[in-house]
Amino acid sequence: MSQQPVRQPVRQVRRFPRPRDFLPLLKFKKPTLNPTTRRLEQALTVYDLRAIAKRRTPKAAFDYTDGSADQELSLGRARQAFEDITFHPSILRDVSVVDTSVEVLGVRSALPFGIAPTGFTRMMQSEGEIAGATAAEAAGIPYALSTMGTTAIEDVAAATPEGRNWFQLYMWKDRDRSMALVDRAAKAGFDTLLVTVDVPVAGARLRDTRNGMTIPPTLSPKTVLNAIPRPAWWINFLTTEPLAFASLDKWSGTVAELLDTMFDPTVTFDDLAWIRDQWHGKVVVKGIQNVADAGKLAEMGMDAILLSNHGGRQLDRAPVPFHLLPDVKAAVGDSLEIHLDTGIMSGQDIVAAIAMGADFTLIGRAYLYGLMAGGRRGVDRTIEILRKDIERTMRLLGVSTLAELQPEHVTQLHRLTARG
């Protein structure tokens, strides 16, 4: 048996590099001089925006946005639910062009999400509701103004002549005052009413209690110390219009105390039917957390329901809206639109919700993180991050329109299963 010759390794020929060899490697990026622009360009995810927001916002204001009720289990579970999925992509589909638009309540939205109603928004960052509304207008998506907003209904309408605005209503003990707000919203051109029904009393928002959270924020040695590394927030806060409720008198107590004095624990389905008769636009009922209530609202002729546990800010250990979605869809079919919020932090989350039967989604904290990180430009950045996520995820799944998304594209993986 002949022996194979041993091959000698090929020796690399080395040389001294010439200066011109370095030139193609020396491509310096043009520096971004504006610090806000630089921060936002470096944010690639909503979690990146959250990290920036935490650095730039006083603790009480950041915690009001970031926190939820009791042990904050509901919020954690909602976010975990979106992570606990498997996508099932199809291959060899033409996805050179994708359409991210969807019809919501009779009007086309450029993206399958809108901006959810959030209270006290100018406390997070001085541009507040106007930043959210104008960013939504520019993106071609709906914006929802909260009853607890810090910008007047009429001012939001004036700032967004081409925008699509919704108004979120809490039913207060003072019904005449509640309906006066509804009348103002109608006269200002708001086309949709979101009636929030999961707040008979305020949830136990422990971060706010521990921070002594008041509206407006109060100065103490602790808050002054916390403000030292965050001068921009305080400069904006102290040099712009004083923070106050656009729809309420001034309040000097804590947020929880305010909510408990306002919210009405006697509200029933009859009250909801009465509100429906008063409003001539579309009605969305926000805060649905079981199949039976969803079915009843479909029978009552509501235009849409919003599956939501209030971002985990009311009842801790509440049902996860994303987990509830398939059962609600099976129960109500196409008799009304199903919207969803709570826990959304990426475009993948939104795509998964649409695939599992949601017609539309709303983002709250995600947009507030952008607002705190960079004002209006930060909200634009949030929307852009989510838009790119949605487009990329659609392409990787092999779909070119949202209508092509089906439950078969997603498997929900359950960590928590009922016993017995």
Contact by Cβ (8 Å): 288, 176? no
pLDDT, tens digit (0-9, with 9 covering 90-100), for 298-308 = 999 999 999 99
Domain ranges of the chain: 43-84+106-389
- Choose the catalytic residue: 88, 280, 310, 414: 310
Indicate whether 250 pLDDT > 60: no
What pLDDT shows up at residue 24? Answer: 72
**Size of the chain in residues:** 420
- Confidence band for 240, pLDDT divided at 50, 70 and 90: confident
Q: Which residues pair with 401 in a beta bridge?
A: 99
Indicate whether 236 pLDDT > 90: no
Instruction: Please name the amino acid found at residue 127.
Output: E
Distance CA 206, CA 282 (A): 35
pLDDT, tens digit (0-9, with 9 covering 90-100), for 293-329 = 999 999 999 999 999 999 989 899 999 999 999 999 9
Token pair for 190: 């708001």
Quickly tell me which residue has 């507040």 as its tokens.
128
- Confidence band for 289, pLDDT divided at 50, 70 and 90: very high
> Residue range 178-198: average pLDDT?
93
What is the 8-class DSSP label of residue 263? B
pLDDT, tens digit (0-9, with 9 covering 90-100), for 32-81 = 888 889 899 999 999 999 999 999 999 888 999 999 999 999 999 999 99
Query: Residue 86 phi/psi, 5° resolution?
Result: -120, 130
Distance CA 417, CA 420 (A): 10
Instruction: Please name the amino acid found at residue 145.
Output: L
pLDDT, mean over the chain: 89
What pLDDT shows up at residue 112? Answer: 98
Q: How many helices (H) and strands (E) does the chain have?
A: 18, 12
Is 88 among the catalytic positions?
Answer: no
Superfamily of domain 43-84+106-389: Aldolase class I (3.20.20.70)
pLDDT, tens digit (0-9, with 9 covering 90-100), for 118-155 = 988 998 999 999 999 999 999 999 999 999 899 999 99
